């Protein structure tokens, strides 16, 4: 479950749009911070839930919840 304030790593699900796959591949190396809880935004006329994200590289934008799988982001420990 995606919740505001979480730091997550996202994976595109099979069948995800090219846009979703590209954003995760291009912007997701350092994970994403969830800026807003998932919601149905005004720009979606199909009633799908989207989540507002901020990437470690500074990109922020919306991705559809039904196209991604999330897990808590854990940085590799430094020895």
Confidence of residue 76 (pLDDT cuts 50, 70, 90): low
- What is the reported pLDDT for 78? 47
The pTM is what?
Answer: 0.88
CA distance 55 to 53: 7
Q: Read off the DSSP letter of residue 58.
A: S
Average pLDDT of span 8-35: 96
Pairing of strands 60-64, 68-72: unpaired
- What is the reported pLDDT for 77? 45
**pLDDT tens, position by position, 7-18:** 999 999 999 999
Do 2 and 38 contact (CB within 8 A), yes or no? yes
**pLDDT tens, position by position, 35-64:** 999 999 999 999 999 999 999 899 999 999
């Amino acid at each position: 479950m995606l919740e505001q304030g979480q730091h997550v790593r996202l994976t595109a699900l099979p069948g995800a749009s090219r846009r979703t796959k590209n954003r995760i591949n291009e912007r997701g190396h350092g994970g994403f911070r969830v800026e807003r809880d998932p919601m149905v935004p005004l720009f979606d006329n199909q009633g799908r839930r989207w989540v507002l994200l901020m990437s470690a590289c500074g990109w922020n934008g919306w991705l559809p919840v039904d196209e991604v799988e999330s897990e808590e982001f854990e940085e590799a420990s430094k020895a």
